[in-house]
A and B are shown apart, each in its own frame.
Chain A
Amino acid sequence: MTTAADPLSQRLEGPQPAVEIARDLARRGVLVAPVIIGFGAIFWGANGAASVGYALAIVVANFLLAAFMLGTAAQISLAMMGAAALMGFVTRLALIFLAVMLVKDLSWVELVPLGITLIVAHLGLLFWEMRYISGSLAYPGLKPRPGRSY
């Protein structure tokens, strides 16, 4: 006879792969920022470059906040992690909405490059990161790299 697992009392301890992945995503976002901002400057000028940089910062902050919320809640209980994932979705959408609405009328904001960057940077960073995800039992987060401590 098996006993049913109780997600209310179980919690995850040890390293948090989501946080590890989000940090790596942020690192890649910083690496690619000059290129994306350069594209914004070429097509939309200085305002475009500033808008693209702002959008990239929103995307990176969104990843980091999502991972932090999931990781922190998973250390409390699995049920809390589920709640954090759902409430986090709504909260982060509201924060992105607020972050864009607060600056939309400022002189340096170009909404078209900002919107395009939000989508392209989000998806582009994710697809790029997929190449470095291990997802195995030994390395649940990123693939092992030589010279890296775990």
Chain B
Amino acid sequence: MSIASTAAQVLAQTDITADELKAAEGASSAGFAYGLAAIGPGIGIGYLVGQAVQAMARQPESAGTVQTTMFLGIAFTEALALIGFVVFILLKFV
């Protein structure tokens, strides 16, 4: 059964209007978009930090350099999640 036919059945059985259903679909889509946009940077930061910790543990004398690279890497990766968040607020509230 398709989503559209399910939505049509729900509409027929309840007092929900088509506009309310559309708004609900938009809200859930924006939420999914933000969640999906945060997954990629999460994986990226996990991999980045794991490798950085390993590098610092192996070569403590270069820990400062590695920490600098790690901090910048985290900040750049986090920008992807921020873009997802901004798309979410623009889709949802503008």
Interface residues of A (CB under 8 A from B): 5-7, 10, 12, 14-18, 21-22, 62-63, 66-67, 70, 74, 78-79, 81-82, 85-86, 89-90, 92-93, 96-97, 100, 104, 111-112, 114-116, 118-119, 122-123, 126, 129-130, 133, 135-137, 140-141
Contacts and interface: CB of A to CB of B under 8 A. Distances in A.
Given A66-B75, A78-B57, A82-B53, A111 B65 contact: no
Contacts of A140: 64-65, 67-68
A100 B93 CA distance: 11
Interface string B57-94: 11011111101111110111011011101100110011
Contacts of B42: 86, 89-90
Contacts of A7: 53-54, 56-57
B94 A141 contact: no
Consensus secondary structure, chain A interface: helix
Interface in B37-66: 38, 41-42, 45-46, 49-50, 52-54, 56-58, 60-65
A118 B89 CA distance: 12
Nearest to B54: A7
Report the contact-size class of chain B (Cβ under 8 Å from the partner).
Answer: 35 or more
B94 A67 contact: no
Interface in B5-55: 38, 41-42, 45-46, 49-50, 52-54
A6 B46 CA distance: 18
Nearest to B68: A17
B56 A10 contact: yes
Given A17-B67, A137-B62, A81 B53 contact: yes
Contacts of B69: 135
Given A82-B50, A86-B45, A137-B62, A17 B78 contact: no
B89 A104 contact: yes
